[in-house]
Amino acid sequence: MSTPDDLTKMIKEMAVRARKASRKLASLSTAAKNAVLQDMSRLLDERRSLIQVENGKDLANGRAKGLSAAMLDRLELSDKVIDSMIQGLAEVTALPDPVGEISQMAKRPNGLDVGRMRVPLGVIGMIYESRPNVTVDAAVLCLKAGNAVILRGGSEAIHSNLVLASILQEALAGRGINSDAIQVIPVTDRDAVTIMLAQEEHIDLIIPRGGEGLIRFVAENSRIPVLKHYKGVCHIYVDSSADLSKINPIVLNSKVQRPGVCNALEGLLIHRDIAARCLPSLAAELHGAGVELRGCPESVRLVSGIVPATDDDWGSEFLGLILCVKVVDSMEEAIEYIEIHGSQHTDVILTENYTRARRFMAEVDASAVMINASTRFNDGGQLGLGTEIGISTTKLHAYGPMGLEELTTRKFVVFGDGQVRE
Amino acid sequence: MSTPDDLTKMIKEMAVRARKASRKLASLSTAAKNAVLQDMSRLLDERRSLIQVENGKDLANGRAKGLSAAMLDRLELSDKVIDSMIQGLAEVTALPDPVGEISQMAKRPNGLDVGRMRVPLGVIGMIYESRPNVTVDAAVLCLKAGNAVILRGGSEAIHSNLVLASILQEALAGRGINSDAIQVIPVTDRDAVTIMLAQEEHIDLIIPRGGEGLIRFVAENSRIPVLKHYKGVCHIYVDSSADLSKINPIVLNSKVQRPGVCNALEGLLIHRDIAARCLPSLAAELHGAGVELRGCPESVRLVSGIVPATDDDWGSEFLGLILCVKVVDSMEEAIEYIEIHGSQHTDVILTENYTRARRFMAEVDASAVMINASTRFNDGGQLGLGTEIGISTTKLHAYGPMGLEELTTRKFVVFGDGQVRE
């Protein structure tokens, strides 16, 4: 590809072909979709060495460019990562097919039966960064929900993404399915993203996954609806009536189990009446796990080793072993703090008080609100969706983890026997 | 307001105040919402003369500007129109409150109970054209669903819209509810719309209602999600196995009952095997009702009085007494025609054949797909939503008529007793 016009033409043609492929996918039977998913599993297993040769090119380029060890690790398609892609495929194959389900059927006074039938969205655009396994995870979820997908991964994973897509396309073709259902954009400059985001006639939904910079770029440049979350600034409020034995395990798990992810804990709010009883032992355990605590004056007074927080700390997404701590006078103050500093991702109350549990659950505006549980449960798999394609912290269409159902919509179906409107 | 900066500041402040009001609305009880809706009914009834004085200013301005009789008619708040606003209010009051409903509760293997709680979207922006009764209809639907609303009606209805909003605000204030929950933008130039569409921090959803020009302007300039339909190009396919006695009543009702609305019929497709039997009598009835028929060569051959259609006719939204007629060789041809010329609004099959009924329903991509019923049923009230705030022909969030439920979203709620993630 040489000129911007060529690039625009190529991406537009890909989108038109995806739209065409999506029309057939929409009426594919569950059995046909599961058969091709099983073929994909088998082919990924058989083509390990091919995958690893192509992945090796990305790794070599990455090393030459001086990527960090962590980034190279995310880029690598080791046997273990390939195993987990195959395992993911088996899980998606086993999930119930949402397409065609009719719900809310009701008879109208004039005898019409009115219901809603779940149908695919059409064409999904996935824009993501380094991890090439997203190519397979996202493609198979879109396929199972009857959608075509256009994938745009990071430039550092381009060889890996292209070989993975070619294997998935081979499986499609082997079952007589239009292989345009799964396409990878083969061009790595950012113009390709901008052009993709302008194909509102042919792409129905954009899902970006990656750092806040990428997601803001996508949100600001897209003419297509975007489902996204910028960040996860998750909070736990420890109520005055919290069960002391539950506090430390839940807070530790929320903060420490995997601190670099969006559902990790970033802010801890403790009611004044329980702070002196719980904070010293909790801080000791957190310090023991390597967590730096940055607190309000009251928490600094209660526990030596908590350092004073700066204004910038409140509401920060640390994605590491740092935690903000604030003593509050009431649940109302905690809810107000979360409204200001939270990111509508995951907020938790620890309490044994029935009325406050009910009020917190009703009043806190987040994609997942929890009572007496770890923030880490805000995840499609953990919440029962089977698997997820992303998490939305905006409210249109989906709020929270998005699984197969969120990759579909519902049309009205009306069964009549001659009715006309009065 | 004099400078663009002033205008931007004013609209931004309105949006911030709406956001603030929406926080309290979200946890208002159903009883409290219904009480204020009843007060609104009473006040609208009591203030008829005030409403009609203000409406009179709009009518006088409209006459001076030379508005058509039809536009003046839509603008007028006659006693009958006020009665119907009051009736609409009573209907919304009687509808079940969607907010707080918890569904899909299920126990996870680790004992967590996970469900989804319906919550308001937050702040809705309504952008509409001449009819001032939309001010009341939209505001009360948004209120019942727990949302604040910012209304931007047409310049020709500004006095009417402002007086109606002031009455609704008086009812809010009388019940101690922040009257910023319902606001009308008092400025009539189009810059106000553009500024409103940039308040993505404070407005969650834009619903435009009006002509295609307005809707395209909104869709192209909005940084906020937009739920919309551009037009309704509705089709009926008369299958070879259609019941002859059902054809004329359904086609006539779909075309003639109210030809100027989006769910009126615009294209008729007839299977070749039944065309000679049904088209002459159907065309006679349509001609008798004043409908001009524009057809394919085969239909022109079958019925004198059908004029040849031009290329532009296929897929046109006539919004009047004109209908396209095409003879097709198969249901597949009809479905393909609808895919090309339809607008994903409403498509109907007339058939007694079970298998084709099932296939048409599954394969046609429209917000409402119907068997043996009039296209005119694609309407929130007719389909059982109680009332509607608009119709969406895009698939994100809502597809088809949007009622109270579509003005809400669902967050995940998780009830634990100390669970942590493995």
- Whole-number Å distance between alpha carbons of A133 and B392: 35
DSSP per position, A85-133: HHHHHHHHHHSPP-TT-EEEEEE-TTS-EEEEEEEE-SEEEEEE-S-TH
Give the amino acid at B355. Answer: T
- Whole-number Å distance between alpha carbons of B145 and B147: 6
What is the widest separation between alpha-carbon atoms in chain A? 79
- How close, in Å, is residue A20 to chain B by CA atoms? 11
- What are the 10-residue block averages of pLDDT along chain A, 422 residues in total? 82 97 95 98 98 98 94 94 94 95 96 98 94 93 98 95 98 98 93 94 94 90 90 97 98 96 96 98 98 98 97 96 98 97 97 97 97 97 90 95 96 98 93
CATH superfamily, with its number, for domain B4-100+114-228+405-414: Aldehyde Dehydrogenase; Chain A, domain 1 (3.40.605.10)
The reply to whether A117 touches chain B by the CB within 8 Å rule is: yes
- How close, in Å, is residue A64 to chain B by CA atoms? 37
The reply to whether A250 touches chain B by the CB within 8 Å rule is: yes
- Whole-number Å distance between alpha carbons of B394 and B377: 19
Average of per-residue pLDDT values in chain B: 95
Closest CA to A280 of A261, A264, A253, A299: A299
Closest CA to B206 of B269, B137, B150: B150
Q: How open is the CA angle A292-A296-A298, to the nearest 5 degrees?
A: 115
- Whole-number Å distance between alpha carbons of A316 and A266: 7
Token pair for A143: 């396929």
Instruction: Name every chain A residue with its beta carbon within 8 A of the beta carbon of B246.
Output: 417-418
The reply to whether B52 touches chain A by the CB within 8 Å rule is: no
Quote the pLDDT of residue B1: 47
Q: How far apart are the first and last CA of chain B?
A: 59
Contact criterion met (CB < 8 Å) for B419 and A377: yes
Q: Measured between CB atoms, which of B117, B374, B400 is closest to A412?
A: B400
- How close, in Å, is residue A262 to chain B by CA atoms? 15
Enumerate the β-bridge partners of residue B123.
B148
Angle of helix B79-94 relative to helix B30-46, nearest 10 degrees, comes to 170
Q: Measured between CB atoms, which of A27, A373, A382 is closest to B362?
A: A27
For residue A244, the chain B residue with the least C-alpha distance is B418
| CB-defined contacts A:B, below 8 A | 202
Contact criterion met (CB < 8 Å) for A420 and B376: yes
Instruction: Name every chain A residue with its beta carbon within 8 A of the beta carbon of B410.
Output: 399
Q: Does domain A4-104+113-228 have CATH number 1.10.150.530?
A: no
The reply to whether B26 touches chain A by the CB within 8 Å rule is: yes
Residue-wise pLDDT for A321-358, tens only, equals 999 999 999 999 999 999 999 999 999 999 999 999 99
> Length of chain B, please?
422
Pick the residue of A348, A355, A421 with the most B CBs within 10 A to test the interface with B by mutation: A421
Contact criterion met (CB < 8 Å) for A361 and B246: no
pLDDT over 70 for what percent of chain B?
100
- How close, in Å, is residue B393 to chain A by CA atoms? 10
Quote the pLDDT of residue B2: 57
Instruction: Name every chain A residue with its beta carbon within 8 A of the beta carbon of B420.
Output: 249-250, 252-254, 257, 373-374, 376
Stated as kind and residue range, the H or E segment containing B56 is helix B48-65
Q: How open is the CA angle A309-A311-A317, to the nearest 5 degrees?
A: 80
Fold of the domain built from segment(s) A234-380: Aldehyde Dehydrogenase; Chain A, domain 2 (3.40.309)
Residue B65: Cβ-neighbour burial (10 angstroms; 0-12, 13-18, 19+): exposed
Q: Measured between CB atoms, which of B367, B377, B395 is closest to A121?
A: B395
Residue-wise pLDDT for B348-375, tens only, equals 999 999 999 999 999 999 999 999 999 9
Q: With cut-offs at 50, 70 and 90, classify the pLDDT of residue B102.
A: very high
Q: Measured between CB atoms, which of A243, A367, A413 is closest to B412?
A: A367
- How close, in Å, is residue B370 to chain A by CA atoms? 4
Residues of each domain in chain A carrying CATH 3.40.309.10:
234-380
CB B383 within 8 A of CB B273: no
Contact criterion met (CB < 8 Å) for A419 and B100: no
Residue-wise pLDDT for A33-57, tens only, equals 999 999 999 999 999 999 999 999 9
> Length of chain A, please?
422
Give residue for tokens 């109270």. Answer: B404
The reply to whether B416 touches chain A by the CB within 8 Å rule is: yes
Quote the pLDDT of residue B353: 98
Beta carbons within 10 angstroms of residue A241's beta carbon = 16
CB B107 within 8 A of CB B113: yes
Quote the pLDDT of residue A1: 47
Q: What is the CATH number of domain B234-382?
A: 3.40.309.10
CB B140 within 8 A of CB B34: no
E strands within A194-329? Answer: 205-209, 234-238, 265-271, 292-295, 307-308, 322-328
- Whole-number Å distance between alpha carbons of B313 and B276: 22
- Whole-number Å distance between alpha carbons of B160 and B163: 5
Q: Measured between CB atoms, which of A119, A373, A415 is closest to B371?
A: A415
- Whole-number Å distance between alpha carbons of B20 and B8: 18
Token pair for A294: 């940055």
For residue B26, the chain A residue with the least C-alpha distance is A363
Residues of each domain in chain B carrying CATH 3.40.309.10:
234-382
CB A134 within 8 A of CB A209: yes
Strands A265-271 and A292-295 come out as unpaired
Give residue for tokens 């339909």. Answer: B229
- Whole-number Å distance between alpha carbons of B370 and B86: 32
Token pair for B23: 């926080």
Question: Above 90 in pLDDT, residue B131?
Answer: no
For residue B246, the chain A residue with the least C-alpha distance is A418
Helices within B95-243 (DSSP H only): 133-144, 158-174, 191-196, 212-221
- Segment B251-264 shows an average pLDDT of 96
Pick the residue of B412, B417, B422 with the most A CBs within 10 A to test the interface with A by mutation: B412
Gyration radius from chain B CA atoms: 24
State CA B279 to chain mean position distance: 33
Strands A265-271 and A234-238 come out as parallel
**What phi, psi does A247 have (nearest 5°)?**
-65, -55
The reply to whether B253 touches chain A by the CB within 8 Å rule is: yes
The reply to whether A257 touches chain B by the CB within 8 Å rule is: yes
The reply to whether A80 touches chain B by the CB within 8 Å rule is: no
- Whole-number Å distance between alpha carbons of B376 and B262: 9
